[in-house]
Chain A
Amino acid sequence: MSASNNQSLGDAIRDGLTEVAKRDPSVLFFAEGVQDPAALFGTLRDLDKHLEPSRLIEMPIAENGLIGIAIGAAMAGKRPVISLQRVEFALLAMEQILNNAAKIHYVSNGLHKVPIVIRMVVGRGWGQGPEHSQSLEAIFSHVPGLKVIMPAFAADAKGMMIAAVEDNNPVICLEHRWTHYASGEVPEGYYREPLDGPKRVRSGDNLTVVATSYMTLEAIRAADVLADLGHSIDVFDLRVLRPLNVDPIAASVARTGGLLTVDTGFAKFGIGAEIAAEITTRCFGELKAAPVRLGLPDHPTPSSRGLVRGFYPDAARIARSCAEMLGLPEETIAKAEARILEERQGLPIDVPDPFFKGPF
């Protein structure tokens, strides 16, 4: 392994995009504000220093049309990367994403390929509310022909972004805004992280936890506190939602006998629901308890920090759920919760916890 830097996930994404675009002249960038001063949370910063201006394409405010245009360019051999400021803007383009991006390879009997990446930001926090913070990965994961990824760690994000751009399929990349701040050691230069499935981020024997994106960071924190109290948890960062590889999770559950899932999106009809169904089918005889799903409740995200209290699963709730599944006494559970809350030092609930800046 070559040298590495400690950097944020957002910067790692930018470096991954820069590396892959420098190597492959067919990579094009589409965004609303592709060269604006904010540079899409910094993730597109300085691309103009490395690339021909014609490869940085300003998107008029026309998501369906421009994603369709990106698909048409991909069919002619380009590798477009579309960056959307929020997941919600992709909803304007569902026709192109579901009918064309997802199906053209299949319907053309393999004659065409659609190598595009569509990045979407989940904008949790600071009162962003019902239409600026949704985590709609389940919608995209429902559709054969799409790949769906949610990197949670900086090194993964860079390598997975490079792999996504080089993939010959449409790849939806959901980036939770709070993961952009999380830092870690990231290898320098070009490297690929295969889009091949979940990664174990904590090892344990008592319970299996599967989380997506930012919820992986919350799950790790819960697992670390429980480990200190003598209960080890196997924690997986799901990373690749489609195609879904449940093999490592099934192997883990066969050992631990329990499954808890933590979604960044809605619990119902969510990613955790799919994993729970798969695991229940495959590991029915090994399960010691029914799988438990954590995720968002059945209502839209309100803006007020008063209303959003309790809306998101957090490390304390994950720790409590794990402990209850393990049958730990209330005294132990309360101790774990108290420790997590104490470390948060009374921060408001609508900003990321400094813990989640890592390094991981």
Chain B
Amino acid sequence: MAQTTGLENNPDIVDFTAMLRIRLVEEAIAERYAEQEMRCPVHLSVGQEASAVGVCAPLTDQDRMYSTHRCHAHYLAKGGGMKEMLAEIYGKAEGCIGGRGGSMHLAAPEVGLMSSVPIVASAIPLAAGTALSDKLDGNGRVTVSFLGDACVEEGVFHETANFARLHDLPVIFVCENNLYSVYTRLDARQPNRPLTALAEAHGVPSEQVDGNDVALVRAATARAVDRARGGGGPTFLLLDTYRWREHCGPNYDNHIGYRTEAEFEEWRTLDPLERTWASLRNLGLADDDWRAEVTKELEREIDDAFDFAKSAPLPDPASAAVSVYAE
């Protein structure tokens, strides 16, 4: 890794690097998507890197996480392998789940990313169930459930929040509010009241945080982790953020009519990556040379991962019927 001024363990340096890595690989997916070799839907996380990285920072490999259809950033931030991620998106046997799920189902249970489930809100109860098991085992593990703003419209969110509070489960509901469910704005779907009020109604403590500020996300998550490990039960974190590219696919779509270029530009000034970078530079913790060198190293890793994914074999069709049932 490139040399900083002896601050490799500085959390802002670590998180900036993690966010840059996610940004670069997502942009590379967008760039190469037109080759039509990644033959599955992709929901890119560009613009939302701070929530993934900030939430994962206080977690250990023993802690667990569940994600959604937009899972690339969560998977990478939790420690899932980049080669295995890209191989999965390319539909290859070396993919993290052997090509069975593609982009929307990334999993790396060995580092705690239990599962990603693309049906809106479907993974929320799974997270609480895993937290229930861990609580019964008294093993101190915490489970994070990533969800989007539309998930609180699903009944199963409320069913789970009720139970999580009833049993004080060590689970953290992290709601990334990017304002849109596909093309539909939040205010067309929900009345004008804080999303946190929904959690509070279940007695679940909540906190609203600028989801594009990785240090704030990290600190809020650390408080929630402390509460969960200390037996204090669940927390609901509301992270305000913005998806830069289209809901599904590699492109920008500000011109098609559901949101404005001006709104996007406003959010772009809140770019989680560049905000952290500005702070690092102002504090004199890193300079342009450092960033250039880190970028080069990450690009090398990304190129290698793409090479790996593209050259890996497709799975044997005969294996498609394997693992329908467990032994």
Q: Which residues of A are interface residues toward B (Cβ below 8 A)?
A: 28, 54, 57, 60, 62, 64-78, 95-96, 99-100, 104-115, 144-145, 147, 168-169, 243
In the complex where A69-B160, A73-B133, A113-B326 touch, is A107 in contact with B100 (Cβ < 8 A)?
yes
> Roughly how many angstroms separate A110 CA and B322 CA in the complex, as a whole number?
9
- The reply on B132 being an interface residue by CB < 8 A is yes
A-B contact pairs, 12 of them (CB 8 A): A60-B166, A64-B155, A65-B128, A65-B155, A65-B159, A67-B125, A68-B128, A76-B133, A78-B136, A107-B97, A114-B326, A147-B325
A64-B155, A65-B156, A109-B100 known; A96+B115 contact, CB < 8 A = no
Please report the C-alpha to C-alpha distance between residue A115 and residue B163 in the assembled complex, in whole angstroms: 21
Task: Kindly state whether residue B240 has any CB partner on chain A within 8 Å.
Answer: no
Question: When the two chains form their complex, are residues B163 and A169 in contact, meaning their CB atoms are under 8 A apart?
Answer: no
Nearest-neighbour CB distance to chain A for B274, whole angstroms, equals 36
Instruction: Report the separation of the CA atoms of residues A306 and B195 in the bound assembly, to the nearest whole angstrom.
Output: 52
CB-based contact B136/A69 at 8 Å: no
Stretch at the interface among B2-10, B116-124, B257-265, B297-305: B116-124
B134 sits at the interface (CB 8 A): yes
Chain A: minimal CB distance from B183 (Å): 23
Contact B130 A72 (CB under 8 A): yes
Contact A69 to B115, CB < 8 A, known contacts A74-B129, A78-B136, A111-B97: no
Docked-complex contact B327 and A168, CB < 8 angstroms: yes
- Pick the contact of B122 from A62, A68, A147 — CB < 8 Å? A68
Binds A, one of B43-51, B53-61, B101-109, B208-216: B101-109
Q: A68-B122, A105-B326, A109-B323 are in contact. List 18 more A-B contacts (CB 8 A).
A: A65-B159, A65-B160, A70-B129, A72-B133, A75-B115, A78-B132, A95-B122, A100-B117, A100-B122, A106-B324, A107-B107, A108-B100, A108-B101, A111-B97, A111-B107, A112-B107, A114-B326, A147-B325
A112 to B163 alpha-carbon distance, docked (Å) = 24
> A109 to chain B: which residues have CB within 8 Å?
97-98, 100, 323
Query: Do A99 and B323 touch (CB < 8 A)?
Result: no
Q: Is B114 an interface residue (CB 8 A)?
A: yes
Q: Is the CB of B325 within 8 A of A64?
A: no
Give the docked Cα–Cα distance between A76 and B105 (Å). 18
The chain B residue with its CB closest to the CB of A65 is B159
Q: Which residues of A contact B166 (CB under 8 A)?
A: 60
Interface size class of B (residues with CB under 8 A): 35 or more
Task: State whether B97 touches A66 (Cβ < 8 A).
Answer: no
Residues of chain B within 8 A (CB-CB) of A145 are 324-325
Q: Which of B308-327 contact A (CB under 8 A)?
A: 322-327
Contact (A69, B107) CB under 8 Å given A60-B166, A75-B115, A100-B117: no
When chains A and B are docked, how far (Å) is the Cα of A70 from the Cα of B132? 9
Contact A65 B98 (CB under 8 A): no
Q: In the complex, which residues of chain B have a beta carbon less than 8 angstroms from the beta carbon of A113?
A: 326
Bound Cα distance from A129 to B163, whole angstroms: 31
Residues of A close to B155: CB separation below 8 A: 62, 64-65
Would you list the 5 A-B pairs with minimal beta carbon distance, nearest first?
A: A72-B129, A68-B125, A65-B159, A62-B159, A76-B133
Which residues does chain B contribute within 8 Å of A95, judged by CB atoms? 119, 122, 156
* Contacting residue for B125 out of A66, A112, A169, CB 8 A: A66
Residues in A whose Cβ lies below 8 Å from that of B126: 68-69, 71-72, 75, 100
Taken together as a complex, chains A and B put the C-alpha atoms of A302 and B115 apart, in Å, by 43
Given contacts A109-B98, A145-B325, contact A69 B163 (CB under 8 A): yes
- Interface 1/0 per residue, B214-248 and A, CB below 8 Å: 00000000000000000000000000000000000
Q: Which of B16-38 contact A (CB under 8 A)?
A: none
A144 touches B324 (CB 8 A): yes
Chain A residues within 8 Å of B163, by CB: 60, 62, 65-66, 69
Q: Report the nearest A residue to B97, measured CB to CB.
A: A109
Taking each of B97, B126, B131, B324, which has the highest tally of chain A beta carbons within 10 Å of its own beta carbon?
Answer: B126
Docked pose: A66 CA to B156 CA in angstroms: 9
Question: In the assembled complex, how far is the CB of residue A297 from the closest CB belonging to chain B, in whole angstroms?
Answer: 34
Tell me the bound Cα distance from A104 to B101 in angstroms: 10
The answer to whether B109 and A111 have CB atoms under 8 Å apart is yes
- Which B residues are in CB contact (< 8 Å) with A77? 133, 137
* B196 interface hit (Cβ, 8 Å): no
Complex Cα distance, B158 from A135, in Å, reads 29
Q: Is B133's CB under 8 angstroms from A108's CB?
A: no
- CB-CB < 8 A to B100: which residues of A? 106-109
Contacts of B254 in A (CB 8 A): none
Q: What's the Cα separation between A290 and B109 when bound, in Å?
A: 52
Counting CB contacts under 8 A, is B151 at the interface?
no
A54 touches B122 (CB 8 A): no
Are A73 and B130 in contact, with the CB atoms below 8 A? yes
B110: nearest chain-A partner, CB-CB:
A111
B77 close to A (CB within 8 Å): no
Please tell me if the beta carbons of B159 and A64 are within 8 angstroms of each other in the complex. Answer: yes
Q: How far apart are B92's CB and chain A's nearest CB, in angstroms?
A: 12
Chain B contacts for A76, CB-based, 8 A: 64, 129-130, 133-134, 137
Contacts of B131 in A (CB 8 A): 72
A147–B325 CA distance with the chains assembled, in angstroms: 9
Among A72, A99, A112, the most chain B Cβ lie within 10 Å of the Cβ of A72
Bound-state Cα–Cα, A182 to B160, Å = 38
B57-113: which have CB < 8 Å to A?
A: 64, 66, 97-98, 100-101, 105, 107, 109
